[in-house]
Chains A and B, each alone.
Chain A
Amino acid sequence: MASLPAISVENLAKSYTRGAERVHALRGVSFEIQSGEFVAIAGPSGSGKSTLLHLVGALDRPSSGSVRIHGEEIGDKPERELRGLRGGRIGFVYQQFYLLPGLTVEENILLPLLFSRAKADGGRISEILGSVGLAHRRSHLPSQLSGGEMQRVAIGRALAGKPEIILADEPTANLDSENGLAIFELLRGLARRGITVVIVTHNPDLAARADRIIRLRDGLLA
């Protein structure tokens, strides 16, 4: 029996009100992403890329349509279950890193475990630090790191809950091309290890390096 797709999106729509205006960010999008795929979501500003990522990542609820993670519908799940999903099966990486400046590299990486009440395993943190290339920066503060290193910490944080899926919103946008490429390759490496990686990017060169590109325009697949 064929395995279920890691992400299955069907007729997904999202509308919201901004001031007096009704915004239709997504107008009925359908696609599937298989486990271990490395997919780029590309499109111009306002095309609905980030909205799509938030819906897939259980940060927001759709207006209509469905999002399934390994066959499991998440759109109607209670907040408590969605929270578990965000801290565990799905990891997020953001353009601006959002590291806590008072915490060390290790503590930033372990932050999700605080909220999931999971024990921090010394072997696990070493493994994460090794996989993001920061073993030598374990006790450093974010202010002592370069932009590329900070994004590596953010990726390490996304890995803390042993996720099946990593969603990255413009992870290279704040980095120079060399560091941007390195982060991209790091994410691709995670996909090779079986983690489904979805990145939103403006950069057509990087998008072209992904296994597949999902293009959006005006809330629809292009």
Chain B
Amino acid sequence: MTFWGLSIRNIQRHRARNLLTALGIALSVLALYSILSFNGGFMRNLDEELRKTGVQFMVMPAGCPHEVASLVLHGAVIPTYLDPGMPRRVAETLGDAAEVVAPMLVFQKANKALGRVDLIHGARFELIGLTKPSWKLEGRLPERSGEILLGSEVAEHDKTGVGATYTYAESMRFTVTGVLRKTNSKDDGSVHMPLADAQRLLGREDAVTAVGVRLRDAAGVNTQVAKLSAAIPGIQVVTMGQVMNSISTLAASARVLSLSIVAIAVLVSVAGVMNTTLMAVFERTQEIGMMRSVGASRRDVFRVVMLESFLLAILGGSGGVAAALLLSGTVEDFVKGFMPYVPPGSLIVFSPGLAAACLGCAVALGLVAGVYPALRASAISPIEAIRG
């Protein structure tokens, strides 16, 4: 018999009660792991999403910076356009500092043949290799007017592929030359076509929603942004960092709320452990008195009770981490329902470090919860206990 064995046997005596206590810990650890993982995944995927845009900043018509975030992340439609010739002015102002100056046009267009509205993304495909280096295709990029590239979700939804025809008007027929493999970005839900075709489809020959810019030297972003803002009035230049901050700010309140709920859940589970352990101590007063009378020191009694708290915490904590991994998809879908924007991709993923931290947190809280009952137990006088 060891102290561990004694504590395990004590826990086994009230299985239902101890399992319920461990379940409480497991649920709070599940929430803690899920929320922390979700928050980490949110920022990581957001960063990845912005990186996939292939540009360091966007030149837009003056307006709300959140519109930029919407454009970049959702493919939102902004009903204002840059002045004609803006891409050329941006390129001239930046000179050799710019590696890519990529105009883009994003708008919605009714697809009467399929009875829905498509999100059209007009771009210069000769620059795609630079702005979208991670794109992988089935087929090829559009090379001439009348050719389109389908996002993976569009192709999957329409159950179509290379060679299919999309018709937006009598004179606007497009042949699919390629299907984009899944990128987990807004590109998956777009129909991509040459900028000139997109402008013609929109009915505005010179329309550009934004100009994406990638510099040869990423460290020079602030300098070049200042230079552009000073040189060209009526525009706003928004860096991807600013977009990230903007989204982070929007999501911050949801994050604080969720963490507050988790904190309450954790406190409730700590109270549960304390209550269960204290109840066990009160029930075993005479046994503890007997233990003292056969040679147990106050420290021995303290140790037995602390080990029981520890075991409850480690049992609940492990269960919580395991549940977090098994239920990550369900929890993620649930949490996503409350968020104003969520970047694509899995947000709750297995992280050994985070799992260990959550388990450590559960154990630490379990030990804290065990201190008071253990002190009460160690203070039991053998005489009083035996007298009953």
Interface residues of A (CB under 8 A from B): 50, 54, 57, 59-60, 79-80, 83-84, 86-88, 91-92, 94, 96, 98, 100-103, 107, 110-116, 120, 157-158, 160-161, 169
Contacts and interface: CB of A to CB of B under 8 A. Distances in A.
Contacts of B287: 98, 100
Interface in B342-388: 382-383, 386-387
B294 A59 contact: no
A114 B1 contact: yes
B297 A59 contact: no
Contacts of A115: 291, 294-297, 300
Contact of A103 (B1, B290, B295): B1
B386 A114 contact: no
A137 to B, nearest CB: 17
A84 B2 CA distance: 18
Contacts of A79: 297
Residues of B contacting A: mostly: helix
A101 B280 CA distance: 13
B2 A101 contact: no
A124 to B, nearest CB: 14
B294 A111 contact: yes
Contacts of B5: 107
A88 B12 CA distance: 29
B290 A98 contact: yes
Contact of B295 (A50, A96, A101, A161): A161
Nearest to B286: A98
28 contacts: A50-B387, A54-B383, A59-B292, A59-B382, A80-B297, A83-B295, A86-B292, A86-B295, A92-B293, A94-B386, A98-B287, A98-B289, A98-B290, A101-B13, A102-B12, A102-B13, A103-B6, A107-B1, A107-B9, A112-B294, A114-B3, A114-B6, A115-B294, A115-B295, A115-B297, A116-B295, A120-B1, A161-B294
B1 A111 contact: yes
B101 to A, nearest CB: 76
Contacts of A160: 294
B80 to A, nearest CB: 75
B10 A102 contact: yes
A17 to B, nearest CB: 13
A114 B2 contact: yes
B289 to A, nearest CB: 8
Nearest to A118: B295
Interface string B26-50: 0000000000000000000000000
Nearest to B2: A114
B383 A88 contact: no
Given A59-B292, A84-B295, A103-B1, 6 more contacts: A50-B387, A83-B297, A94-B290, A94-B386, A98-B386, A111-B291
A97 B188 CA distance: 74
Contacts of A86: 292-295
